[in-house]
Amino acid sequence: MTDSDDYVNQAFASHMEHTAEVASTNASAISKAADVLVAALLTDGKIIACANGNANTLAQYFCTSLLNRYEHDRPALPAINLGADATTYSAICRDNRFNDTFSRQVRAIGKPGDLLLVIVDDGHKANLIQAIQAAHDREMKVVVLSAKEKTDITSLLQGDDHEISMHNLGPNDAAPLMLVIVNTLCGLIEQKLFGG
C-alpha cells in the first residue's frame, strides 16, 4: 500500500468516525431545528441564510433546495441566501463595513416570523454575530449550524433559537457533515410540509 493509499484510507476512516459522532449527538438538535424552520414557513415567514467562505456554498445549496425542490416536486418555499448577491455584498464591503455585510440586509428584508439560518465552519465571525443581533432586533428566530461547540455565537442565542454544533471540527472535516445535515433538514422540511 502506498502513502497515497494510506492517506485516502485515513481520510475515509476519519470521516466515518466524525459522521457517527455527529449522528449520535445531534439527531435531536437537527429534528428540533427542522421543526423551527417548518414553523416559520407555515406562518408565512421566509428563511434567510448567511455564511462566510466555503460555508456559503452550503447556504446557497440549502436555499436552492427550498426554492426549487429537494426530493419531490412541490410548491417553492421562500429562502434567500444573503451571500449570493455579490454586488450587494461587495458594495457593503467597499464602504469598509465588512461586519455589516449580513446585518444590513437582515434589517432591510427581515421581519418578525422570518428565520435566520447561520452556517459557521470557522474563521471570521463578526459579520455573523451582527447578523444574529439584527435578526433578534427584527424579532426573528435563529438556527445556527456550527463546526464548533460553545463559541461566542452560542452566547448570543436566545430561548427560541437552536444550535446544531459539532465537536470542534476544522472546516474540511465539518463541510461534508454539514452537507449531510443540510440535506437532512431539507428532507425533513419536505416531509413535514408535504408528506411522503
**Per-residue pLDDT at 76:** 97
pLDDT score at 95 = 73
Quick check: 150 and 122 in contact, CB under 8 A?
no
Dihedral over alpha carbons 119, 122, 125, 128 (to 10 degrees):
0
Question: What's the pLDDT tens digit per position in 69-96?
Answer: 999 999 999 999 999 888 887 888 777 6
Question: pLDDT at position 14, please?
Answer: 86
Given a contact cutoff of 8 angstroms between Cβ atoms, the answer to whether 82 and 106 are in contact is yes
Contacts of 163-169 with CB under 8 Å at 24 or more apart are 163/29, 164/26, 164/29, 164/30, 164/33, 165/26, 165/29, 166/18, 166/21, 166/22, 166/26, 167/21, 167/22, 167/25, 169/18
pLDDT at 135: 98
What is the pLDDT, as a whole number, of residue 98? 81
Type of residue at 97: R
pLDDT at 124: 63
CB atoms inside a 10 Å sphere around CB 163: 21
* Alpha helices in 68-125, H assignment, sequence order: 86-94, 103-109
State the cell numbers at 12.
Answer: 475515509
pLDDT digits (tens, 9 = 90+) for 105-149: 999 999 999 999 999 998 568 999 999 999 999 999 999 999 988
Alpha-carbon distance of 119 to 145, in angstroms, equals 5
How far apart (Å, rounded) are the C-alpha atoms in residues 10 and 177?
A: 16
Q: Exposed, middle or buried: residue 74 (CB in 10 Å: 0-12, 13-18, 19+)?
A: middle
Which cell numbers in the block locate residue 185? 433538514
Query: What's the mean pLDDT in 162-191?
Result: 94
Helix, strand, coil % in the chain, rounded to nearest 5: 60, 10, 30
Domains and CATH numbers, the chain: 3-194 (3.40.50.10490)
| Entry pTM | 0.93
Residues 81, 87, 90, 95: is their CA dihedral positive or negative?
Answer: negative
pLDDT tens by residue, 27-54: 999 999 999 999 999 999 999 999 998 9
